Amino acid sequence: MAIAYRERFSIPPLPVDAATASAMGQHFAQKLAQVGGLDALVAKVTDGILTRPAGDPPTALSRLNRLYAQVYTREEIEGLARNTLAGLKIGG
């Protein structure tokens, strides 16, 4: 039986230092150019969080991705992706 949710959570982006934010901004700007649009980039980021490879090493980020995939809906993770990209000034 599927669970119906009455509310949707807004997941805030993880705080990062200026150097990390700069590197992330450059990475996502390149990805935006490769995938051809903000919606496609959001889908790619969301899919990356939801589908981790079987041999993914147990890093803090992979653990966080697994937690997000178990706790949040796809729509909530898409919101996280949009909020993170907006915070990095990606996609206008």
Band of the pLDDT at 2, cuts 50, 70, 90?
low
State pTM to two decimals: 0.81
Spans of all domains in the chain: 37-92
Give percent helix, percent strand, percent coil of the chain, each to the nearest 5: 60, 0, 40
Contact 69, 49 (CB under 8 A): yes
What would the pLDDT profile of 48-69 be if each residue is shown by its tens digit? 999 988 888 889 888 988 899 9
